[in-house]
Amino acid sequence: MNKQEEHVIIKPIIKTRDSRGWLAEIVRPEDLDSKTSFGQIFLTVSYPGQIKGNHFHKRKTEWYCVVRGRGLLTIRDNNSGERHQYRLSDKKLRLVTIPPGYSHKIQNTGSEDMHLLVYVNEAFMQSDPDTYPVFL
C-alpha cells in the first residue's frame, strides 16, 4: 500500500531473495500516471554529509529510491509551504514520487556513499532544464 501526503507518494519496495542475492522492482508501470512517457533513469552518488537537489521542477516528476546507504529527503510544497522529511535507506527500500511544484533535496546522513536511483518523466535538456534552484 502506498503512503501519500498530499501529492508525494511513498511506496514500500519488496526485495525478493534467494541463494544468489536479491531483486527489487523499483519503478513499475502502475507507479506512473497515464500521461507519463519514458524520460530518463540515472544513478547519482552522494558522499557522506553532502546534499543534492535544492531545486524544484515546473513540469517534471521524479521518483527517488536510495539503493545504497542512508539519506534524509526534505520536500516542500511550493504552494502551501508545508514541509516533510523522509529517512530513506537500502535497509528499507521505498520509492518516493516527487511531483512538479515540490522543492526537494536529499542529504547523505551515513558514513559511506549514498547511491540514489532516480527516474524522471522527462529527459534533461540543457536548453530547457526545468530545474529551479531553492534553498531548503
Q: So where are the chain's domains? A: 3-15+40-124
Check residue 107 and give left, alpha or beta (phi > 0: left; psi -120 to 50: alpha).
beta
Q: How confident is the model at residue 4 (pLDDT cuts 50, 70, 90)?
A: low
- Can you tell me the distance from the alpha carbon of 35 to that of 22, in angstroms, rounded to the nearest whole number? 31
CA distance to 17, 19, 64, per residue, from 61 (Å): 30, 36, 10
pLDDT tens by residue, 46-71? 999 999 999 999 999 999 999 999 99
Give the per-residue pLDDT at 33: 78
Tell me the CATH architecture of domain 3-15+40-124.
Sandwich (2.60)
Give the per-residue pLDDT at 1: 45
